[in-house]
Amino acid sequence: MPGGRVCAACGCSEIEVDAARGDAVCTGCGSVLEDNIIVSEVQFVENSGGGSSAVGQFVSLDGAGKTPTLGGGFHANLGKESRAQTLQNGKRQIHHLGNQLQLNQHCLDTAFNFFKMAVSKHLTRGRKMTHVIAACLYLVCRTEGTPHMLLDLSDLLQVNVYVLGKTFLLLARELCINAPAIDPCLYIPRFAHMLEFGDKNHEVSMTALRLLQRMKRDWMHTGRRPSGLCGAALLVAARMHDFRRTVKEVIRVVKVCESTLRKRLTEFEDTPTSQLTIDEFMKIDLEEECDPPSFTAGQKKLKIQQLEKALSKKLEDFEGEISSYQDEIEIELENSRPKAKGVFANFTKDDSMEDNTSSIAGEEEAEDEELEAAANHLNKDFYNELQEKGAVKKNEDGECKNGNEALIRPPALESLLGPLPTAASLGITESIKECISTKDREPGENTGDGELDLSGIDDSEIDRYILNETEAQIKAELWMKENADYLKEQKEKEARIAKEKELGIYKEHKPKKSAKKREPIQASTAGEAIEKMLEQKKISSKINYNVLRDLNSKGSNTPKKEDDSTDDSTNTKKLSRRKSIASRNIANPVNSVGKRLRPLISTQLAKKAAIEEVTFPNAQAEASDLEKPAAVLVESGPVAYNPDEEMEEEEVEEDDDHCMSALQLMGGNDYGCDVDDDDGY
Amino acid sequence: MDADSDVALDILITNVVCVFRTRCHLNLRKIALEGTNVIYKRDVGKVLMKLRKPRITATIWSSGKVICTGATSEEEAKCGARRLARSLQKLGFQVIFTDFKVVNVLAVCNMPFEIRLPEFTKNNRPHASYEPELHPAVCYRIKSLRATLQIFSTGSITVTGPNVKAVASAVEQIYPFVFESRK
């Protein structure tokens, strides 16, 4: 209030405000201007222990803040907004995880702040809450420099490390937080402790630290898991101080693979530092730095490749020489060889030709070369023999043999190609054609411009890609064989569905709609409760309620007509039928009315039972599976409630005339969704 | 001045991925039966067809969308795609070659020096991210080019981007930074 107030009675402007009593009094005439002023002071109340605490409540800044119920809520998540619930849930999980990791309170609070930021940026959408929480915690660990690894978190949560890592990277990027790079030195104390070095723990740690620094300078640490390096360093340090720690023990602590550890050790061995003795190592630091091991490995590879290239070049040279010698020899021999006559002439011709064909129509190139080499070899030997012996007869025999052998080879090939209808043969035919045709085609293909129509694409080549009928059949068989498992599964599935359809149990598995949690309605009477529930629940707009009510009011008095026809065309008809059946003896639940009504009856039952107890059924009963109410039916149906139900049915109906209709609407609404869906189809 | 030496760097394109549409429904079963070099994956509903001449593997869906991978240059990718469309035509489908687009290009490049990764990360904070626990390389993203580079400590760099030009300019951009943090 502004200071310049004037007393209404005397016009005096000296007004005294007493905050304690909450009065505003005029000092001139003494009239009380204000009484019970609202004060904004902090008040204290005495505790049971004798101390005093401030009076008041914390109200969240972002929540809409419905006042907590005076009667005390059922559980903490009552009446709060989704955002507040999420945050509270997150906080709880953070604390739970953080305690397992032994993080202090400050870290947990920071993690919660990160989480709040993440939620406000909608990063929790579409991600598992546990992943986001783990990422927040790990972020804190990084920024604080605690010796926690991502592996620890993944161990606790049983989640793949890389999945967590992905979430973590995303979080760090979105929140623009730069996580400082992890230093393997941070892990040493933790692992050393776990390896139980006793009194010498500190010394071993220091040695390991020195080793690590040496490793860093030797470029072993870039791109490597810090834990692996630590493991290697600790192992060596332990040995240096006469502790026997096997590789297995170290692995269990450090969580890397044995081969990784060994590799690190060998890499370290390669550095010059490894040559120093223990004392020297502690005192001296070598000046030079090494290259990273992967770099040296790369260099080695390069060298080997170069050597190979040089070797192959030399080989080629040699081969070239040899082949030139061969050619010369052959030419000379041909000249010197007397021409074969008669039958053998064919053979000689065939020989040369078939060599060619075997190379084209033959197997893949390796075999090709082998054949040629074999042929050449045989020929060579042959010609050597010829040279030595120089007899014509031998020539003829030789050529005959040669020709025979050459003949033998191609037929063998064809037998290979012919009857075996395997992929190999198809592949072969392909390679044959390709070998023949590609040489022609090479210049044409590369000029591919313009539209699709055939520029640069040769049709015949593409024709190769299409199998003829027999080949197609063969291939189909092969595919069937290979994918037999999958096909079997499909068949079984179909058989199952067909069976279920016959039995009438077939349900289409629609994606489960999650139950909406609603506040429990507080009402004094059942009627009020139903009214409130109606307001909340979205009733279908396709129902004409007035007609319904009329129907129901009539229906309750008239005898129950049974409509066995399963005609679901109009909702009203259905509802009246339901009502009639419902008001009939529920002791016979097993009617031949079809599956849909059975659950209806049970839900109605459940609801009736609930009404009697005046506590409203939970939303779960409404939205749960159709099967669940069936179970309810079995358990609680006829046994307990039947007699009561029967008696009270009529009363209930008459009393809650309009409520019955609402009830049915509700019950109907369970199908309301389905029915609407059906109509939609 | 440091950018001069990148002329000598050879960027090797290892993979080009492209997509195109045939604008007609394809019967996968028929393709699988009558085509050579095809693998029919019925459980996921696609057919893999491998060509030899430009070494290309194409994934064909029944909706008519085709993804082609394995080419070593953009022209080759286009040629292979057209070949594929032509072979589908021959199988009897009314194929129209539309919406051809190169989607991804993967290239490899080697620096003649090693790189200090932690230092590099520190200097290039928002763009570079390095998690030695997860992956041995630094992941550097260039938003303007939509390119991602993976920088290894040996000096080898893997670049992926939407087209060859972007990849080349990404390498040019990264060179000075990498040169700073060289060993």
Per the structure block, which two tokens stand in for A531? 């009214």
In terms of CA atoms, which chain B residue is nearest residue A177? B126
Cβ of B36 and A467 within 8 Å? yes
Which A residues, 191 through 230, put their C-beta within 8 Å of a C-beta on chain B? 219, 222-227
**pLDDT one-digit tens code per residue, A277-324:** 777 776 666 656 666 777 777 788 888 988 999 888 888 888 888 888
Quick check: B154 and A434 CB within 8 A? no
Q: Could you give the ipTM of this predicted complex?
A: 0.74
Helix axes A258-270, A247-254, angle to 10 degrees: 110
pLDDT at A397: 46
pLDDT (0 to 100) of residue A125: 87
Work out the pLDDT band at A371, boundaries 50, 70, 90.
Answer: low
What average pLDDT does this structure show over A391-418? 45
**Domain range annotation of chain B:** 15-102, 110-179
The whole-angstrom distance between B46's CA and the closest CA on chain A is 14
pLDDT in tens, B89-101: 888 888 888 889 9
Residue A618 CB neighbour total at 10 angstroms = 15
Phi, psi of A53 (to 5 degrees): -130, 155
Which residues in B lie closer than 8 A to residue A454 (C-beta atoms)? 86
> Which 3 state secondary structure label does DSSP give A75?
coil
Select the residue of B34, B42, B155 nearest A466 (Cβ to Cβ).
B34
Q: Which of A182, A294, A465 sits opposite B154 (nearest CB)?
A: A294
DSSP-derived letter for residue A245 is -
Residue of A435, A437, A440, A417 whose CA lies nearest to A359: A435
Residue contact B42–A291, C-beta within 8 A: no
CB contacts < 8 A, A to B, total 124
- Nearest by CB to residue A222, choosing from B35, B87, B116, is B116
Greatest mean pLDDT range, A453-457, A524-528, B179-183 = B179-183
d(CA B75, CA A123): 41
Low-confidence ranges of chain B (pLDDT < 50): 1-6
Per-residue pLDDT tens over the stretch A318-368: 888 888 888 899 998 888 876 555 555 455 444 444 444 444 444 444 455
- Cα A331 to Cα A353: distance, rounded to the nearest angstrom: 17
Domains B15-102 and B110-179 share a fold: yes
Q: Considering all CA atoms of chain B, what is the largest pairwise distance in Å, rounded to the nearest integer?
A: 60
Token code pair at residue A502:
């016959």
Look up tokens 């470029």; give the residue: A219
**Chain segment A14-70, per-residue pLDDT in tens:** 888 887 788 888 888 888 888 887 767 778 888 888 888 888 777 766 555 555 554
Taking the C-alpha atoms of residue A678 and residue A180, their distance in angstroms, rounded to an integer, is 58
A448 reaches B (C-beta below 8 A): yes
A460–chain B nearest CA distance, Å:
10
pTM above 0.95, yes or no: no
Mutate to test the interface with A, among B18, B22, B36, B44 (most CBs of A within 10 A): B36
A75/A469: higher pLDDT: A469
- A291–B contact, CB cutoff 8 A: yes
The fold for domain B110-179 equals TATA-Binding Protein (3.30.310)
User: Would you state the structure tokens that stand for residue A622, as one six-digit string?
Assistant: 């409404």
Interface check A438 vs B, CB under 8 A: yes
The string of pLDDT tens digits covering residues A631-654 is: 444 444 444 444 444 444 444 444
| B-proximal residues of A, 566-585, CB under 8 Å | none
- Residues from chain B contacting residue A174 (CB–CB below 8 Å): none
Q: B15-102, superfamily in CATH?
A: TATA-Binding Protein (3.30.310.10)
Nearest CA in chain A to B43: A486
pLDDT band at A228 (very low <50, low <70, confident <90, very high): confident
Report the alpha-carbon distance of residue B19 to residue B65 in Å, rounded: 7
User: Which is more confidently placed, B167 or A578?
Assistant: B167
The predicted-structure confidence for B83-133, as pLDDT tens digits, reads as follows: 888 888 888 888 888 889 999 999 999 888 888 888 888 888 888 888 887
User: Is A430 in contact with B154 (Cβ distance < 8 A)?
Assistant: no
Chain B 25-44, CB below 8 Å of chain A: which residues?
A: 32-37, 40, 42-43
A255: chain B residues, CB-CB within 8 Å? none
Residue of B nearest to A461 (CA): B87
Subunit contact B132:A472, Cβ cutoff 8 A? no
CA dist., res. A178 & res. A554, Å (int)? 73
pLDDT band at A606 (very low <50, low <70, confident <90, very high): very low
Q: Compute how many other C-beta atoms are within 10 angstroms of the C-beta atom of residue B122.
A: 15
User: What is d(CA A582, CA A648) in angstroms, rounded to the nearest whole number?
Assistant: 12
Instruction: Find the DSSP H helices in A448-514.
Output: 459-464, 469-482, 484-503
Using CA atoms, how far residue A646 sits from A576, A593, A638, in Å, is 18, 20, 10
Which chain B residues contact residue A471 at CB under 8 A? 36
Can you give the pLDDT at residue A673? 43
Helix (H, G, I), strand (E, B) or coil at A306: helix
Name the nearest CA neighbour of A550 among A569, A582, A575. A575
Q: Which residues contact A648 (CB under 8 A, 6 or more apart)?
A: A612
Interface test with B, best of A149, A465, A466 (most B CBs within 10 A): A465
Q: Which residues contact B120 (CB under 8 A, 6 or more apart)?
A: B128, B130, B138, B151, B177, B178, B180, B181
Q: Which two tokens stand for residue A367?
A: 């075999």
A298 vs B contacts (CB less than 8 Å):
154, 156
CA dist., res. A196 & res. B177, Å (int): 44
Distance from CA of A261 to the nearest CA of B (A): 15
Q: Report chain A residues whose CB lies below 8 A from the CB of B83.
A: 457, 462
Diameter over CA atoms, chain A: 158
Chain A within 8 Å of B122 (Cβ-Cβ)? yes
Residue B131 or residue A547, greater confidence = B131
CA distance A72 to A69: 5
Instruction: Name the residue of chain A whose CA is nearest to B82's CA.
Output: A452
Q: Is A298 on the interface with B (CB under 8 A)?
A: yes
The answer to whether residue A456 neighbours chain B at the CB level (below 8 Å) is yes
Phi (first) and psi of residue A567, to 5 degrees: -110, 115
**A98: pLDDT strictly greater than 80:** yes
Give the count of beta carbons closer than 10 Å to the beta carbon of residue A20: 7
Of chain A, the percentage scoring pLDDT greater than 70 comes to: 51
Q: Which of A149, A462, A489 to mutate to test the interface with B (most CBs of B within 10 A)?
A: A462
β-strand pairing of B46-51 with B38-41: antiparallel
Q: How confident is the model at residue A545 (pLDDT cuts 50, 70, 90)?
A: low
In the stretch 124-153 of chain B, residues with CB closer than 8 A to chain A read 125-126, 129-134, 136-137, 152-153
Apex CA A619: angle with CA A617 and CA A624, to 5°?
A: 110
pLDDT band at A656 (very low <50, low <70, confident <90, very high): very low
pLDDT at A610 over 70: no
Average pLDDT, chain A: 67
Is the predicted pLDDT of residue A476 greater than 90, yes or no? no
